[in-house]
Structure 1
Amino acid sequence: MMKRIVYWFRNDLRLHDNEGFTRAVQQADEVLPVFVFDPKLFDELPDLGFRKTGIFRANFLIECVADLRRNLRNRGAHLIVRVGNPATVLAELAQQIGASAIYASKEVTSEETDMESSLSKRLKPQNIDLELFWQSTLYHVRDLPFAIAQLPDVFSQFRNQVERRAKVRSTFEDPVRVRLVPEVDPGDMPSITTFGFPGEMKTDIRRAVPFKGGETVALERLESYLWEKELIKTYKETRNGLVGENYSSKFSAWLAHGCLSPRLIYEEVMRYEAERVKNDSTYWLIFELIWRDFFRFVALRFGDRLFKASGIKHDIQKRWRRDNDLFIRWAEGETGIPFIDANMRELAQTGFMSNRGRQNVGSFLVKDLGIDWTWGAAWFESLLVDYDPCSNWGNWNYTAGVGNDPREDRYFNIYSQATRYDEKGAFVKHWLPELTQVPAQKVHLVSALNRREQEEFGVALGDTYPMPIINPGKWLKR
């Protein structure tokens, strides 16, 4: 009897180094590759009034799936696309074609693992297996030198142990030909209007990088960053940049959707070090991939604590403010603190923000305004093209001081950060054109401008640019 396997693509939207899909192709006579858009992902969050997934990531995800469909077609197959509850859709498809199993990527956070359980329950009475593959991290979970329950609380300890005692597995080859189950209607690709977004997505010409979804563009970016432009060799010095396409790797959006394998990046960096140059910068890119792993393993260990206001630490003493007006001023980049506003407007206009920006706006929301950090994490979830539940909520835990590493609970002096990382005010002026004429030495503290200076520099505080919602003078005293 012919063996058929359904392959459920999730956050692994690639053909390179995809163990689950490669094994399905090797072990089955025919494979049915499927992607299911879950409309729940685009719902409005009941208490907060904005969508769980906003337009930037919705558009990026559709591009990723369309690219995967093209790449499968080039291998003689097709991607079956559906909109609905993944557990229901997949169980029906598996039954319809007489599949013996569904293969998929293993996820770690609750919404995804709940979906795995729901699917498993539906498949049991039909005697169909669900086989899940761990394929999102640099280090495989089974290769860690400790049990997940013994995961070190401190990142440096985690890094030292895995670097000394764990090996990165080799990447899997792409399947060259895929034998497809023939009789299933492939279905139409949805557009952003399917999920209730306006038909046209406006792109802001000021954006740092024109993120386009899909494995094809991801591999081009990897090739360009390492081999063509050789930007990797200065990564450590440039990674805190704020303006432009080249200051950091920008791999994050493709990593988050699984269009790019961390192990492939690792292999390419090793090859680059062997053939071109090995330095602190080449290592630092791997270092950032290990951070990404750490947050995924933290999520695996602590589960839903990651998403609760009390955090990983289960700190129920901390009291958070739930001030809607202040939160909206922060979210819309109307705080009157230029460095915060520029970063928040970049996020709102493009779905991206630098790592340096994320640390500063996070610290400002929770430490200076005292607002519930989970609101900030949810806002990032909605807007970020590179949203990854483990990294996003893990980083916010630390920002709020409810993570499990006490040394990560840092306060950011926004003024000193702004003058250090945006010394000439180029980034602030890029996103706040109303401050274009303000000289560099004054632009990070516009609230201190007197009336004559305001007239001279074309700024009217409280009119063309808001008065600050906190007194920035405290940063000058520190």
Structure 2
Amino acid sequence: MLILLGAGGGAVIDLCPADLDPEQTLHTAPPWPLKAPGAQLNHASPPPRASPGSPAKGAPRKEAGCGSSPVGGGAWAPPAPSQWKAGELQQAPIAPMAALRTALCVLRNDLRYHDNEVLHWAHSNADFVIPLYCFDARHYAETHYYQFPKTGPYRLKFLLESVEDLRETLKKKGSNLVVRKGKPEDVVCDLIAQLGSVAAVVFHEEATKEELDVEKALLQVCSEQGVVAQKFWGSTLYHRDDLPFKHISRLPDVYTQFRKAVESQVKVRPLLQMATQLKPLPPGVEEGNIPKLEDFGMQDPSVDPRTAFPCGGGETQALLRLQHYFWDTNLVASYKETRNGLIGVDYSTKFAPWLALGCISPRYIYEQIRKYEKERTANQSTYWVLFELAWRDYFRFVALKYGRRIFFVRGLQDKDVPWKKDPKLFDSWKEGKTGVPFVDANMRELAATGFMSNRGRQNVASFLTKDLGLDWRMGAEWFESLLVDYDVCSNYGNWLYSAGVGNDPRENRKFNMIKQGLDYDSNGDYVRLWVPELQGIKGGDIHTPWALSTAALSQAGVSLGATYPLPVVMAREWSRHINQKPNSQGPALKGKKGPSYTPKQHKDRGVDFYFSRNKDLS
């Protein structure tokens, strides 16, 4: 849930679909032939007519110099949605193929070689190709509302590993990954000036404002420098332009409606066939150094032996993980039964961190699933992997539909909720000191590893918003800071959902922390793993230490308020799952018996954490 980046402002049209006229079509085709099939329209070539905010023909124009951001100042504002007209965004023809000497590929969340349309197009249309990755300081600043570090050490380490891995892959294919520090728009401008041979800047499109601001700035640089800008959509399983809705504004607000439409009407596009060797860098381009964690003021985080995600970053590790989970162990065939686990590496696919950085293509996962189903078995578990990829797509398309509203406190529904902003309560939540063991165990796992199970995420999100009543953006930004698999669309989409201001068709959904703990960690193994001060409490009693007798607590070595906190809040519905018995040291807990990975069946879920549609959670 992912990545608030960049700066605002700009001097070109904001291409965010949420700002376009509702009747403007999604389905557009270039009026000129392209050498590479599937290339998307060019929005950045010098426009054939003035666009809103552009100077009139013949008017003097102030050029942005290299090394200075072409966005800023706040002097220009995009027109109101009512000013947009269908067909307003017109594109100039792409430059003839012979003119493309050097293609500059700006890589962001697409750190892979396989199924990479940016690299595919550049290789097919240029003599020289520069794959470029920029470490943009805006990614490592503070979150917008609550000033947490945007990128914590676990995700940064994973990113650095992914960049290094891509460099090694490209070297083996006769190329290299050029690395620079700075804003992509500034670096691109400098390289255009330095080389004098750059004829095209190529990149994948993103979905949220700060990423779109970077794209806007790149388009501005290309326009001013007379360079073609070529954009592609490549982050989803189902291609944006293939959606069975005339415009993104008609995207259903309920996931099930979206899923049924795409499953019945949309074909997943085939994988791109990548060249075994890539066109070389042009002469005179230095590769640049990949920074270290210390360069960002961070120390290398140690790998906690309890972690459920000990994997490294990069395309190579992503493909190895799929090989292990699908072909070496057949774990994918039982995924639907194990996916609600809490302990260990193999209860779920763990693809999310690599998907977030684009180290693995969702279409590659799809093709491997289809191959597995053909050669071994097809069942609910193999389908469920695709079901989750569709959830991931859905949150990305929701971000396209609603634009910046996914970050607003009132959410997609413009709902006025009296959220609290209590720092003390929030600290108890983020530090795993709420006095509610199931919540605390999950939050401590996140802090120690940068990872948390899907089941854990939905519970701690519900607890923050529904039990503590805290501003949901506090939780969303904390996840943004810590999660190794943070993806902006999935993160904010799921937090909106959890807070009841997003795409949840059932209002007032609230998780019962005691029931959830008993259902998914009935023997308390997970809590015992992460809350060692409660290890002396046996069985499911560990979920409600406050309900134990003084003698039982003393025997377990627990002193509430001293060795472990009293609950910061008590929900009335919790009592339904504690059956007080006379003459007993403690309660008999009502819950499903079984280990911490006891499966529960649900119809719908998101890729980062999910929320059951048809389940009594209270």
1:196 deviates by 1.4
**Matched position secondary structure for 1:234:** helix
CA shift digits 1:270-329 (9 cap, x unpaired): 0000000011111000000000000000000000000110111121x2111000110011
Distance (Å, rounded) in 2 between the aligned partners of 1:173 and 1:225: 24
Q: Tell me, in whole angstroms, the C-alpha distance in 2 between the residues paired with 1:2 and 1:327.
A: 54
Match of 1:31 in 2: 129
The letter of the residue matching 2:393 is D
1:341-377 CA-to-partner distances (Å, cap 9, x unmatched) read 0000000010101111010000000000000001100
- Counterpart check, 1:401 vs 2:500: yes
For 2:500, give the aligned amino acid: G
Please name the residue that 1:91 is paired with. 189
Give the TM-score normalised by structure 1: 0.97
Out of 400-409 and 337-346, give the one that drifted further: 400-409
1:71-470 → structure 2 map (5 Å cutoff): 71-97=169-195, 98-146=197-245, 147-180=247-280, 181-198=282-299, 200-315=300-415, 317-407=416-506, 409-470=508-569
Q: Which consecutive aligned stretches of 4+ in structure 1 deviate over 3 angstroms post-superposition? A: none
CA distance in 2, matches of 1:441, 1:60: 36
Deviates most, 58-67 or 200-209: 200-209
Quote how far apart the aligned CAs of 1:45 are. Answer: 3.4
Displacement of 1:445 in angstroms is 0.3
Q: Tell me the CA shift for residue 49 of structure 1.
A: 4.0
Instruction: Give the C-alpha shift of residue 175 in structure 1.
Output: 2.5
Distance in 1, matches of 2:571 and 2:531, equals: 18
Counterparts of 2:515 and 2:306 in 1: how far apart (Å)? 25
Percent identity between the two aligned chains: 49
Structure 1 position 174, deviation (Å) = 2.6
The alignment partner of 1:345 has SS state of helix
Q: Secondary structure, in 3 states, of the residue corresponding to 1:371?
A: coil
Q: Secondary structure at the match of 2:198?
A: coil
How many pairs does the alignment contain? 476
Separation (CA, whole Å) in 1 of partners of 2:229 and 2:100 = 18
**CA RMSD between the two structures:** 1.2
Partner of 2:591: none
Give the AA of the match of 2:301.
M
The SS at the match of 1:221 is helix
Shift, 1:474, TM fit: 3.6
Residue 47 of structure 1 and its aligned partner are, at CA, apart by: 4.9
- Secondary structure of the residue aligned to 1:53 is coil
Distance in 1 of aligned mates of 2:151 and 2:135: 12
Report SS of the residue matched to 1:407: coil
Residue of structure 2 equivalent to 1:22? 120
CA deviation map 1:211-234 (0-9, x unaligned): 311000000001110000110111
In structure 2, the CA distance between the partners of 1:219 and 1:96, relative to structure 1 (3 Å rule), is same
Contact (CA 8 Å) 2:106, 2:184: kept in 1 or not?
A: no
In the TM superposition, residue 209 of structure 1 has moved relative to its aligned partner by 2.0
Displacement, 1:434?
1.0
User: In the aligned structure 1, how far is the partner of 2:478 from the partner of 2:504?
Assistant: 24
Range with greater deviation from structure 2 (31-40 or 172-181): 172-181
Gaps (5+ residues) in structure 1? none
Aligned counterparts of 2:357 and 2:515: Cα–Cα separation in 1: 35
Find the residue that maps to 1:100 and give its secondary structure: strand
Distance change (3 Å), C-alpha of 1:45 and 1:154: closer
Aligned amino acid, residue 364 of structure 2: L
Q: Distance in 1 between matches of 2:507 and 2:201?
A: 40
Alpha-carbon deviation of 1:405? 3.5
Looking at secondary structure, tell me which structure has more helix per residue: 1
TM-score, normalising length from structure 2?
A: 0.76
8 Å contact from structure 1 (residues 94, 102) kept in 2: no
Do the aligned residues in 2 keep the contact of 1:19 with 1:135 (CA within 8 Å)?
yes
Measure, in 2, the Cα distance between the counterparts of 1:408 and 1:393. Answer: 18
The answer for unaligned runs of 5 or more in structure 2 is 1-98, 577-617
8 A Cα contact 1:398 1:409, kept in partner: no
Amino acid at match of 1:354: S
| Aligned amino acid, residue 294 of structure 2 | T
